[in-house]
Amino acid sequence: MNEKLQDSVRKYTRKGWKIVAQTDTSVQLAKRKRPNTVVAIVLLVLGIIPGLIYIFWPRKDKVVYLTYTLGKVQTR
């Protein structure tokens, strides 16, 4: 893997992103989306059921693709 791409991957992994897939020129990273704390507290105060539904409702992970082409790292 290219050094520029490795530096970009290190920056993301320090922020909690996990490597999902990797090739010599590209990396796919994912980060779990978490519920908003303020919204969760408000919903729990208003009613335990809406708060619990909000907290445990499945969310899609955030996904980032890093590719190295023509000497540059591109993010999608």
Per-residue pLDDT of the chain (76 residues; tens, 9 = 90+): 789 999 999 999 999 999 999 999 999 999 999 999 999 999 999 999 999 999 999 999 999 999 999 989 999 9
Q: How far apart, in whole angstroms, are the C-alpha atoms of residue 73 and residue 8?
A: 8
H or E stretch at 50: helix 48-56
Q: How far apart, in whole angstroms, are the C-alpha atoms of residue 34 and residue 58?
A: 10
pTM of whole model > 0.85?
no
Q: How far apart, in whole angstroms, are the C-alpha atoms of residue 35 and residue 43?
A: 12
